[in-house]
Amino acid sequence: MIKAVIIDDERLARNELKKLLLEFPEIEVIAEAANANEGIEKIDSLNPDLVFLDIQMPGKTGFDMLAELDKAPDVIFTTAYDDYALKAFEVNALDYLLKPVEPRRLADALHKLHLEENREKEGGEVEIQANRSLLHEHDQVFVKDGERCWFVKLSDIRLFESVGNYAKIYFGSNKPLILKSLNALEERLDEKVFFRANRKHIVNLRLIEKIEPYFNGGLLLEMKGGEKIEVSRRQTVKFKEMMSL
C-alpha cells in the first residue's frame, strides 16, 4: 500500500484526482491539503510515500514547499498550462501531470514510481527506521536554486560546506545553496555515512577518493569531485577509529 497526500488549492481538482486514483487500489489517499503550509504539516505528521503536488498555490508555490522539507517524499507534480513550471520540468525531468489529468498518463507515472521502489528494495537492505527523523542515504532532498530544482539522493551528495547560514551541497557538477546550517544538518544526517571533517565541512565517507596525511597529524581527504578537505586533528582520531572498524 502506498500512502499518498494530495496538495492542491482547488477542492474540485483534489476530488477529481481522488476519483482517478480509485482505479489504483494500491494507492491510498490519506490526507489532502489546500496550501503549502498545510501540506508541510501533513507531510511532517503523516510521512506519506507519495505526494501529488500543485505548483501554483497561494502563498508558496509547490517548489518552495518542497525546498522547506528536510526530506522530500516521492512527488508527482500536477499543473494546468504554465510556462514557468513547464520550463522547470524540462530542465530537470521531474515527473508531472497536466490538468485535466489523462488516466493513462497517471498510470504511467505511478508505474514508473513502482519500478523505482522495487529497485531500491532489491538493491539495499530494508532498514527498520528506529529514528524516523534521521536522514538515511537513500532519502532524497529537494533543492531549489533560482530557476533550477533537483531531487537529490543523499548518497549522491559528496560534500556539505558551511556558507554563513546556508549550506552549499556538492553533487555531480552542481553546488547549489540550501537554507540550512551545517550543525542542523549534522544532527539529522546518518553519522555512519556523513562525517564532520572540520568546522566548515561534512563529507560523504563513501565518496572519498584519496586519504593523505597532513600537517599536525591531521588528514587531507580528496573527494570524488576533486575537492580537497582537511580533517581537523581532533576529528582525525575519530575518523581513524571509524575506518578501522
Strands 219-223 and 27-33: unpaired
Q: CA 150, CA 128: separation in Å to the nearest integer?
A: 27
| Given 4, 5, 13, 182, the residue binding another protein (CB under 8 A) | 13
- Between residues 80 and 242, which has the closer beta carbon with respect to another protein? 80
Q: CA 107, CA 104: separation in Å to the nearest integer?
A: 5
| Given 26, 87, 90, 100, the residue binding another protein (CB under 8 A) | 100
Return phi, psi of residue 74, to 5°.
-70, 140
Q: For residue 31, give the C-alpha cell.
A: 490526507
Q: CA 197, CA 85: separation in Å to the nearest integer?
A: 38
Q: For residue 170, give the C-alpha cell.
A: 556538492
Residues from 34 through 63 that contact another protein (CB under 8 A): 35, 37, 56, 58-59
Q: How far is the CB of 81 from another protein (least distance, A)?
A: 4
Residues from 112 through 141 that contact another protein (CB under 8 A): none
DSSP 168: E
Q: How far is the CB of 17 from another protein (least distance, A)?
A: 9
Task: Give residue for cell 501554483.
Answer: 56
Note whether 122 and 138 are within 8 A (CB). no
**Does residue 146 bind another protein (CB under 8 A)?**
no
Residues from 176 through 215 that contact another protein (CB under 8 A): none
Give the contact letters, 59-98, x = binds to another protein (CB under 8 A), - = no: x--------------------xxx---------------x
| Given 99, 105, 138, 188, the residue binding another protein (CB under 8 A) | 99
**Does residue 16 bind another protein (CB under 8 A)?**
yes
SS3 1: coil
> Judged by CB under 8 A, which stretch of 15-23, 110-118, 128-136, 232-240 contacts another protein?
15-23
Return phi, psi of residue 15, to 5°.
-60, -45
Residues that bind another protein (CB under 8 A): 9-13, 15-16, 19, 35, 37, 56, 58-59, 80-82, 98-101
